[in-house]
Amino acid sequence: MSSSNLVIANWKMNKTWEEATEFVDFFLDKSLDKPTIIAAPSLYLQGLHLRNKNPQISFAAQNLYFEEKGAFTGEISIPMLKSLSIGYVLIGHSERRQIFQESDELIAKKIAACLSHQIIPVFCFGEPLEIREKGQEIDYVLAQIKSGLALTQLNSFKQLVFAYEPIWAIGTGRTASKEQAQEMHLNIFNALTAEYPKLNPEEITILYGGSCNLDNAASLFSQPNINGGLIGGASLIAEQFLGLNQI
Q: Could you give the residue numbers annotated as active site?
A: 93, 165
Paired strand residues for 121: 89
Q: What is the DSSP letter of 15?
A: -
CB-CB contact of 158 with 121 (8 Å) = no
Question: Of 164, 98, 152, nearest to 120 (Cα)?
Answer: 152
**For the residues of 151-210, what is the DSSP string, one character each?**
T---S-GGG-EEEE--GGGSSSS----HHHHHHHHHHHHHHHHHH-TTS-GGG--EEE-S
Q: How many helices (H) and strands (E) does the chain have?
A: 10, 8
Q: How far is 75 from 85, CA to CA, in rounded Å?
A: 18
What is the separation of C-alpha 54 from the centre of its chain, rounded to a whole number of angstroms?
A: 20
Question: Of 14, 37, 32, 53, nearest to 86 (Cα)?
Answer: 37
Q: How far is 7 from 228, CA to CA, in rounded Å?
A: 5
CB-CB contact of 3 with 240 (8 Å) = no
Q: How far is 141 from 188, CA to CA, in rounded Å?
A: 8
